[in-house]
Amino acid sequence: MTMKKIVYTLLLVISCCMACRQEDAQVTPVGKPIPGAPAPATVKALLDSSNLTIYKAICQRVNLDSILAAQQVAAYTLLVPSDSAFNAAGYTKAGIAGMNINDLDSLVLYHAIANPVNSSNLQQSLGNIAQYSMLTASDFADYSPWSPYRYFLYLGIHQGKLMVNGHAHPLRALDGLDGTIYILDEVLKKPAFDMIDYLGSHAEFSQFLEAYHISDSTNDDYIGYNIQDFLPLLTSSSQCAPFTLIVPTNHAFAQAGLKTPDDFRALAGRSPMDYPNYRDIGGKTYYAAVFNPLDSMLFSTHEDLSYFNRPSYPLVYFSNDFSDNGSLANALLMPGDLYRPPPVYMRLRFQQTGGKLLVNQLSPVFAPVPLTTTDIVCRNGVIHVIDDNLLAH
């Protein structure tokens, strides 16, 4: 290429560059700019900007921010009743100023979880998840300020509704950077009684309590001590986590031919008693007892648990767990330990038929029995009631 051609080419490039200015290359925007997604707010900011005026007034009185800071709670979940829910329960914004501060403390802490429970994660869960509320107590059973009772909350999603302790609420969730606010349509009531209190105050469960007493005394009379202790399961204890109890009414027992204490004693005496010992179960050695027919029938009502083989973590299942979580049938509830009590399985199957929730044993199989009353929340678990025959015959 000659020098003349090189100079000509350079002049051509420079001319093109000078002719093409930046503003000529820009396109005039059409329409309004698309806004970016707003940055997520904190739970406190979400609450401050809400119309939950009564709850905010209560939080101001109890100084919830200071409580969270003192307990070093970095992320949390609030179950917040709406103003109309508070009004329905007898709370007003004007009346908050005159209420006992301890009562307000209990109310706020029972509705708070020192752990984030995000709504999207909750929707992916089968059934409920157990969470400690921030409320504790030390004035009953064997609890103390050094080892307090901790109230549980059980949260889930069922048919598009928020489930709290087996009760349905509209799903209204505000997810924030450090937790979630769930807006409730009622004020939650903490459980104020144990299973033994509820059953003892309802005459239709007198045979059930009698059966527990006869089972315990039969074992105690033969062995010299009680290997299972069914009755102590029904009372809150720091040694036993909450569990699920399916209770037959007197009518259900009568349908199975068990109408008097003598009928229960006769059932207990149908097979010889034996002492607990190390036994081979599935090729592994566990410390287990041999139970009489009455024991076996009662075991089906409480997940094969006993005070001898009691849960160390919640085994609480509500009606929506039974409906939504098909994997519960034959699920391993407690793994067991070698040379200690054996594993515990869910030996029950649940099904929804004709608007009724039915339950029956996996083996031997009997006709399903409807749960006539469900989700009775106690401090030590949840009770469901059957009124038409028994789970085990």
Q: What angle do CA 126, 127, 130 make, to 5 degrees?
A: 115
Does 295 share its domain with 360?
A: yes
Final residue in a domain of this structure, among 130, 157, 184: 184
- pTM, two decimals, is 0.87
Does 230 share its domain with 375?
A: yes
Report yes or no on 96 lying in a domain.
yes
pLDDT at 269: 85
Final residue in a domain of this structure, among 140, 159, 184: 184
pLDDT at 35: 59
Domain of 310 in residue numbering reads as 195-386
Q: How far apart are CA 371 and CA 359, in angstroms?
A: 7
Does 250 share its domain with 381?
A: yes
Report yes or no on 339 lying in a domain.
yes
Does 319 share its domain with 342?
A: yes
Determine the distance from the C-alpha atom of residue 378 to the mean position of all C-alpha atoms in its chain, rounded to a whole number. Answer: 12
Report yes or no on 17 lying in a domain.
no
pLDDT at 31: 52
Does 212 share its domain with 167?
A: no
For 183, phi then psi, to 5°, come to -90, 125
Does 57 share its domain with 119?
A: yes
Q: How many residues does the chain have?
A: 393
Report yes or no on 2 lying in a domain.
no
Q: How far apart are CA 336 and CA 339, in angstroms?
A: 9
Does 293 share its domain with 167?
A: no
Q: How far apart are CA 196 and CA 200, in angstroms?
A: 6
Does 144 share its domain with 207?
A: no
pLDDT at 16: 47
Determine the distance from the C-alpha atom of residue 233 to the mean position of all C-alpha atoms in its chain, rounded to a whole number. Answer: 19
Report yes or no on 20 lying in a domain.
no
pLDDT at 383: 98
* Domain total of the chain: 2
For every one of its 393 residues, what pLDDT tens digit does the chain have, with 9 covering 90 and above?
Answer: 454 554 455 445 445 444 444 444 444 555 555 555 566 799 999 999 999 999 999 999 999 999 999 999 999 999 999 999 999 999 999 999 899 999 999 999 999 999 999 999 999 998 999 999 999 999 999 999 999 999 999 999 999 999 999 999 999 999 999 999 999 999 999 999 999 999 999 999 999 999 999 988 887 766 666 566 889 899 999 999 999 999 999 999 999 999 999 999 999 888 777 777 888 888 899 988 778 888 888 888 888 888 778 899 999 999 999 999 989 999 999 998 888 888 999 989 999 888 899 998 888 888 899 999 999 999 999 999 999 888 875
Burial class (CB in 10 A: 0-12, 13-18, 19+), 204: middle
Sheet with 179-184, edge to edge strand ranges: 112-113, 76-81, 179-184, 173-176
Report yes or no on 230 lying in a domain.
yes
Does 69 share its domain with 98?
A: yes
Final residue in a domain of this structure, among 129, 149, 184: 184
Return the CATH number at 262. Answer: 2.30.180.10
Report the half-sphere exposure of 267 (CA within 13 A, side-chain side): 22
Report yes or no on 36 lying in a domain.
no
Report yes or no on 255 lying in a domain.
yes
Does 142 share its domain with 217?
A: no
Does 348 share its domain with 244?
A: yes
